Structure 1
Amino acid sequence: METKKFHQQEIKEAAAILREGGLVAFPSETVYGLGANATLADAVKKVFAVKGRPSDNPLIVHVENFEQVKQYVDNFHPLTSKIVEQFWPGPLTLIFKIKPGALPSVVSAGLSTVSFRMPNHPLTLELIKEVGQPLVGPSANTSGRPSPTQSQHVYHDLKGKIEGILEGGSTEIGVESTVLDLSDPIQPPMILRPGAVTKEVLEETLGVTVLVDQHLVEENQAPRSPGMKYKHYAPKTKVLMVQPTDWAEAFDWAKKQDLKVGVLASPELRAAYQAQMTASYPLVDESIASAAKGLFAGLRALDEEQVDLIFAPVFPEVGLGVAYMNRLKKSANQQFFKV
């Protein structure tokens, strides 16, 4: 199968493929998604097969607007309208209990709930509108690998396996959406997966306490939401997380072990330790926004450099740092460099 790159003027062609049950990857503000018509069970099954994704891992359904969600849900949490008005389109996924049989069970991995998101990307919103149906859209990569933030990442993993990729440039945020469980109208909202829409922002906007599910799902357990697995987003090369005060010791240890090291490196880190790095992926600056945007692209790039080990910087788990560290810990299988 040839995998074609589609551009804005070719969206009608990409939409026709999706209507007929084919697969087309699409951009968003978070990562690239692997699109299939959410109403076609056979098309959705192809997504699991192409990614090598466990069938117990539910998918996120991407919609053009909130009216599409109302076709599948009839009992909304009382905070839903306020949340949608404030955060859609955007990097926030909402979980609702759906009407029985409203969507193929393969979408929800057999659960009674489904995750919905309205992505903040004009090309993808145009694509969904042109298809006339919502699209499932898990990250467009081989399951368990770092998520794709550029179209070439998608092509690397899925060329010859899907019909097309809608070109949308590099993603802005670089980590997947926050997942917020609103499936029980009488319970407080609960974050199942952290993202750019933080607990603090939600609580300030809504004026209520937002819970956070800290449970890490083992390989043999079924998750309630994408991104809850204990190990995920991992390159083939081993990753170690490095605390800000441990860089000198980490490089000394690697030198003594005669290890080739690749580093997700800020300008400050490169200035101090460039000579000790076999390879580096340059982050734009010292900020958490730069680290989050560069995390998956950096892991992918360094994985191609034939290094023995990847060092990645640790950030405080506040704001966007919660989402960054959530992804990094899973990429590193929870392992820190220890002096």
Structure 2
Amino acid sequence: MMKTKILTENEIAFAAEQLKRGQLIAFPTETVYGLGADATNEEAVKQVYLAKGRPSDNPLIVHVASVEGVRPFVDEIPEKALKLMTYFWPGPLTIILKIKVNGQLSKSVTGGLDTVAFRMPNHPLTLELIEKSGTVLVGPSANSSGKPSPTMAEHVHHDLAGKICGILDGGMSQVGIESTVIDLSEPDGIPLILRPGAVTKNQLEAVIGTVAFDQHLVGENETPKAPGMKYKHYSPDTPVLMVRDGDWAEAIKAYQNKKIGLLANKIRINQFKNQFSASFMLSETGEIDEAMRQLFAGLRALDEADVDLILVEAYDNQDVELAYMNRLEKAAGKQYFETIPH
């Protein structure tokens, strides 16, 4: 088993050199920490799947340091894609494009598709890492597959210590959930959002016009175009239940004989003081941006807190709340408090 080193910003050159040698380096982004490998190195990319325990038909996002970093892999960048790159990059937006036939990317990156997802992360350490590595990097979330995504270097170390070379520590992720994914691989089709994130449908439409959500359900033997569309995601080992705003008193009462972990805003935690075993504050008063930033960290913390059940604050499914609820519903298996017999 290799020793996994926590790396500082002064060790980026070392991290880049390890990537050139085919090693795996986790890196910080504004969304979550990514597990980096040279996207043109087939063996290195295969090691990403092994380290995460991730199904090999789940495609990987390619991280670039500039718009120019995309051009070697595509015949052209469509006008709408270029507009989005100009407006939202660097930032939490991933864009799926058609790629060149027999291009340079590892076949394991694409899952056998003729499309690839590209993103330019908004974190100075990782942009410098990509540039110094002299290549582009795959960067799925740096966690064990299916578990809550990591928003701190410590989360990565918890899941992947001994399996990867190093973790570039860039502090806590500022967005806290994975990027919005939009499919622009069909030039004449309506752009489709495959995964909601911090960049919302309204924001995208303000730049390129009509955008729709993809309603297609990925089949068992079908390769998804983007991560997070097919397999179980974001789930701690402890069962998770979503609780709507008006159901908290009843939920707390229903499970009073269990050790409850409370993942909610500060007001809610104070409301039920001494009626739960552990808590983690999502936000001060219910702010969605702070709740998104804290969601995965909270799920991880309460999973380690010796509780029987985690009750989590649910939001409305609209605008930026849609991204939060997309992750929470997967973590909870779409189970709300009232749907569970008690």
Give, in whole Å, the separation in 2 of the partners of 1:212 and 1:269: 33
Matched, 1:12 2:13: yes
Give, in whole Å, the separation in 2 of the partners of 1:270 and 1:223: 39
> Over aligned residues, Cα RMSD in angstroms?
1.2
Read off the aligned partner of 2:126 and give its amino acid letter. Answer: T
- Give the structure 1 partner of residue 202 of structure 2: 200
**Range moving further from structure 2, 130-139 or 196-205:** 196-205
Asked whether the 8 Å contact 2:25–2:164 carries over to 1, the reply is: yes
Read off the aligned partner of 2:299 and give its amino acid letter. Answer: L
- Give the structure 2 partner of residue 152 of structure 1: 154
- Give the structure 2 partner of residue 82 of structure 1: 83
- Give the structure 2 partner of residue 232 of structure 1: 233
Read off the aligned partner of 2:134 and give its amino acid letter. Answer: G
Give, in whole Å, the separation in 1 of the partners of 2:181 and 2:59: 12
Asked whether the 8 Å contact 2:146–2:231 carries over to 1, the reply is: no
- Give the structure 2 partner of residue 31 of structure 1: 32
Question: Map of 1:258-273 to 2, 5 A cutoff?
Answer: 258-273=257-272
CA gap 1:218/1:184 in 2 versus in 1, 3 angstroms: closer
Quote how far apart the aligned CAs of 1:131 are.
0.3
CA gap 1:325/1:214 in 2 versus in 1, 3 angstroms: farther
CA gap 1:179/1:61 in 2 versus in 1, 3 angstroms: same
Quote how far apart the aligned CAs of 1:319 are.
1.9
Q: Look up the SS of the partner of 2:10 in the other structure.
A: helix
Quote how far apart the aligned CAs of 1:135 are.
0.3
CA gap 1:321/1:230 in 2 versus in 1, 3 angstroms: farther
Read off the aligned partner of 2:272 and give its amino acid letter. Answer: Y
Quote how far apart the aligned CAs of 1:221 are.
4.5
Deviations 1:179-224 (CA, angstroms, capped at 9, x unpaired): 0101011112110000000001111222x11010134546665322
Matched, 1:309 2:309: yes
Quote how far apart the aligned CAs of 1:128 are.
0.1
Quote how far apart the aligned CAs of 1:280 are.
0.3
Ranges in structure 2 where 5+ consecutive residues have no aligned partner? none
- Give the structure 1 partner of residue 273 of structure 2: 274
Matched, 1:291 2:291: yes
Asked whether the 8 Å contact 1:90–1:119 carries over to 2, the reply is: yes
Give, in whole Å, the separation in 2 of the partners of 1:218 and 1:310: 30
- Give the structure 2 partner of residue 93 of structure 1: 94
Give, in whole Å, the separation in 2 of the partners of 1:283 and 1:56: 33
- Give the structure 1 partner of residue 326 of structure 2: 326
Ranges in structure 1 where 5+ consecutive residues have no aligned partner? none
Read off the aligned partner of 2:87 and give its amino acid letter. Answer: Q
Between the aligned residues of both structures, percent identity stands at 55
Asked whether the 8 Å contact 1:238–1:310 carries over to 2, the reply is: yes
- Give the structure 1 partner of residue 223 of structure 2: 222
Quote how far apart the aligned CAs of 1:141 are.
0.2
Question: Map of 1:24-173 to 2, 5 A cutoff?
Answer: 24-102=25-103, 103-173=105-175
Give, in whole Å, the separation in 2 of the partners of 1:164 and 1:283: 29
- Give the structure 2 partner of residue 183 of structure 1: 185
Read off the aligned partner of 2:276 and give its amino acid letter. Answer: M
Aligned length: 336
Read off the aligned partner of 1:105 and give its amino acid letter. Answer: K
Q: Look up the SS of the partner of 2:37 in the other structure.
A: strand
Asked whether the 8 Å contact 2:60–2:227 carries over to 1, the reply is: yes
Give, in whole Å, the separation in 2 of the partners of 1:35 and 1:4: 14
Q: Look up the SS of the partner of 1:338 in the other structure.
A: helix
Read off the aligned partner of 1:224 and give its amino acid letter. Answer: K
Quote how far apart the aligned CAs of 1:111 are.
0.7
Asked whether the 8 Å contact 1:76–1:185 carries over to 2, the reply is: no
Deviations 1:273-298 (CA, angstroms, capped at 9, x unpaired): 12211100012321111111111000
TM-score by length of 2: 0.96
Give, in whole Å, the separation in 2 of the partners of 1:5 and 1:130: 18
Quote how far apart the aligned CAs of 1:74 are.
1.0
Give, in whole Å, the separation in 2 of the partners of 1:64 and 1:112: 22
Give, in whole Å, the separation in 1 of the partners of 2:239 and 2:217: 20
Asked whether the 8 Å contact 2:71–2:77 carries over to 1, the reply is: no
Read off the aligned partner of 1:261 and give its amino acid letter. Answer: I
CA gap 1:262/1:87 in 2 versus in 1, 3 angstroms: same
Asked whether the 8 Å contact 1:39–1:104 carries over to 2, the reply is: yes
Q: Look up the SS of the partner of 1:292 in the other structure.
A: helix
Runs of 4+ in 1 over 2 A off after TM superposition: 75-78, 214-222
Give, in whole Å, the separation in 1 of the partners of 2:255 and 2:218: 31
Quote how far apart the aligned CAs of 1:172 are.
0.1
CA gap 1:216/1:288 in 2 versus in 1, 3 angstroms: farther
Asked whether the 8 Å contact 1:95–1:182 carries over to 2, the reply is: yes
Asked whether the 8 Å contact 1:190–1:212 carries over to 2, the reply is: yes
